[in-house]
Amino acid sequence: MIRDRSFSTRRSLVDGLANWGDRRHWQAFDRAYSQLIYGFARRAGLTDAEAQDALQETLLTVARRADSFRYDPARGSFKGWLLQIARWRVADQFRKRLPSQPHMIHSQDSARTATIARALDPAGPELEALWNSEWYANLLETALERVKKKVSARQYQIFDCYVVKAWPAQRVQRDLGANIAQVYLAKHRVAALLKKEVDALQAQGK
């Protein structure tokens, strides 16, 4: 699954979802949010197959309900709307694991039971926390991709090794042939641009 590097909830994208035949909007939505939804489902405890099913059911539900959603940040966020749909679909997958009679879940499987019980409560804080974590991870990766286009390849490589990969400054200097001034300059310049992009993306997601 390829992430949409714009990662925005622009009015044009959201409003376009109401038209099932609008292939361009739906492709953009799929690229932007499929990895997010799948990652959320996996972290919630679903298997790969279950997470794929939850993803497809989420996309189908979005398609059915898109015409009822109007992008108005003052009334509620697209992020929150999509979360409600995704966690209900995750809960559906957990329900499929349950035996036909709830009392058949035995105490010796308490850890599994607790996980399922939490997932069966789509309004619970656990799933919202997972969603926020996945949302920010996707947002950060998108911001990094945007920043990469605004700085030189070498400067980004220094930043990636020193900050993202957490190499010691001495290793960066040795392996990349950079002096200490170049290392610190790349760190501060790219970090400043990254913060700007993250702030912009967070504003778009409200």
CA distances from 138 to 10, 32, 81, 198 (A): 16, 9, 17, 11
Of 84, 195, 89, give the one whose Cα is nearest residue 150. Answer: 195
Q: Rounded mean pLDDT of 124-137?
A: 82
Q: Which residues contact residue 167 at a Cβ distance below 8 angstroms, ignoring those fewer than 6 apart?
A: 161, 175
> In sequence order, what are the residues at sequence separation of 6 or more whose Cβ sits closer than 8 angstroms to the Cβ of residue 145?
5
Query: What six digits make up the tokens of 50?
Result: 């279950």
pTM of the full structure? 0.65
Q: How far is CA 196 from CA 9, 115, 153, 185, in A?
A: 17, 37, 19, 17
Residue 6 has pLDDT above 80, yes or no: no
CA 74 to chain centre: 22
- In this prediction, residues 45-60 reach a mean pLDDT of 93
CATH of 150-206, picked from 2.60.40, 3.30.200, 1.10.132, 1.10.10, is 1.10.10
pLDDT at 62: 85
Position 50 pLDDT exceeds 60? yes
Q: Express each pLDDT in 78-125 by its tens digit.
A: 788 888 899 899 989 988 887 654 444 444 455 555 555 555 565 567
Q: Mean pLDDT, to the nearest integer, of 54-68? A: 84
Q: Where are the domains positioned within the chain?
A: 1-143, 150-206
**Average model confidence (pLDDT) for the chain?**
79
Query: Which pLDDT does position 161 carry in this prediction?
Result: 96
Segment 161-166 shows an average pLDDT of 94
- Helix boundaries (H) for 149-179: 153-159, 169-176
